[in-house]
C-alpha cells in the first residue's frame, strides 16, 4: 500500500505573492492554499517563493552570463516548479512593482516560465484585485505561461462578514472552498500539459 501511495505524482507549485507585506491579504491567500494542499488536495506541494530579495531588474547586473545570486536562486526555483500560483494585489489598476520585477528576472534568457500552467488569485477592495489579473494574463502571453481560465478568484477583502483575521489569515469558509477549486483546476491543467 505504501509503495502505491509513493507513486502518486506530486505537482510542485511555486507560489508567488505580489505584496511584500507579511500580513497582506494576498499572503493570506497563499498560506491558505498551502494549508489546503496539505489537507484536501492530494498530489500537490506548494512552496512560497519570497521575491523580496530580488534586486530591481538591471542588465548591468548580469556579468559573464550570470545573474546576481538572489536572482539565480529564484530562477532555479521557477525552473524546477511544475506550475505557479500567483497572488496578485492590484496597485493603480495593475500588478505590483515587486511582482513585475520577479516576472522580468525569470523571463531573461532562457525564459524559465515557459510552457507551464499558472493560476491567479487576488484579494483587495472593490473588484478584489481583478484588474491586476488581466495585466498578469497579458504578460503571460509573451512568457508562454498557460493560465487556467476557470474558476476565477477575486475576493473583496473588506466586505462583511470579515474574510481575514487581524494577521491576514483567510477565515471565510466559502472563499476557502473557492480557493480549493482553483488549486484542483491548476493541478488538472498541469497534468494535462505534462501529458502532451
Indicate which CATH number applies to the domain containing 83: 3.40.50.360
Total domain count for the chain?
A: 1
Q: What is the pLDDT of residue 115?
A: 96
DSSP state of 42: T
CA distance 144 to 86: 15
84 part of a folded domain? yes
76 part of a folded domain? yes
CA distance 59 to 151: 37
68 part of a folded domain? yes
Q: What is the pLDDT of residue 8?
A: 61
What's the pTM? 0.93
pLDDT band at 178 (very low <50, low <70, confident <90, very high): very high
Q: What is the pLDDT of residue 1?
A: 42
CA distance 153 to 126: 13
Three cell numbers, residue 77: 526555483
2 part of a folded domain? no
pLDDT in tens, 108-167: 999 999 999 999 999 988 877 889 999 999 999 999 999 999 999 999 998 889 999 999
Q: What is the pLDDT of residue 7?
A: 57
Q: What is the pLDDT of residue 129?
A: 84
- Residues 6 or more apart whose CB falls under 8 angstroms from that of 37 comprise 13, 44, 45, 46, 183
74 part of a folded domain? yes
Residue range of the domain that includes 68: 7-56+64-194
pLDDT in tens, 60-100: 999 998 999 999 999 999 999 999 999 999 999 999 999 99
1 part of a folded domain? no
Q: What is the pLDDT of residue 126?
A: 82
Instruction: Please determine, for residue 3, whether its predicted confidence score (pLDDT) is greater than 80.
Output: no
172 part of a folded domain? yes
102 part of a folded domain? yes
Instruction: Please determine, for residue 2, whether its predicted confidence score (pLDDT) is greater than 60.
Output: no
pLDDT band at 9 (very low <50, low <70, confident <90, very high): confident
Least confident of 4-18, 22-36, 113-127: 4-18
CA distance 186 to 150: 9
Phi-psi region of 30 (alpha: psi -120 to 50; beta: other; left: phi over 0): alpha
Amino acid at each position: 500500500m505504501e509503495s502505491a501511495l509513493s507513486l502518486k505524482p506530486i505537482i510542485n507549485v511555486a507560489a508567488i505573492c505580489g505584496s511584500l507585506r507579511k500580513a497582506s491579504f494576498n499572503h493570506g491567500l497563499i498560506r491558505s492554499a498551502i494549508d489546503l494542499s496539505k489537507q484536501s488536495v492530494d498530489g500537490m506541494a506548494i512552496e512560497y517563493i519570497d521575491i523580496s530579495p530580488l534586486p530591481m531588474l538591471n542588465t548591468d547586473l548580469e556579468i559573464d552570463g550570470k545573474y546576481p545570486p538572489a536572482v539565480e536562486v529564484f530562477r532555479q526555483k521557477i525552473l524546477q516548479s511544475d506550475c505557479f500560483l500567483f497572488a496578485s494585489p492590484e496597485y493603480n489598476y495593475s500588478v505590483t512593482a515587486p511582482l513585475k520585477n520577479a516576472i522580468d528576472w525569470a523571463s531573461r534568457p532562457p525564459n524559465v516560465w515557459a510552457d507551464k500552467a499558472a493560476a491567479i488569485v487576488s484579494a483587495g477592495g472593490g473588484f478584489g484585485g481583478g484588474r491586476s489579473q488581466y495585466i498578469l494574463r497579458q504578460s503571460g502571453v509573451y512568457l508562454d505561461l498557460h493560465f487556467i481560465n476557470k474558476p476565477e478568484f477575486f475576493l473583496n477583502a473588506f466586505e462583511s462578514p470579515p474574510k481575514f483575521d487581524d494577521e491576514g489569515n483567510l477565515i471565510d469558509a466559502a472563499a476557502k472552498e473557492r480557493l480549493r477549486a482553483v488549486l484542483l483546476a491548476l493541478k488538472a491543467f498541469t497534468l494535462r500539459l505534462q501529458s502532451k
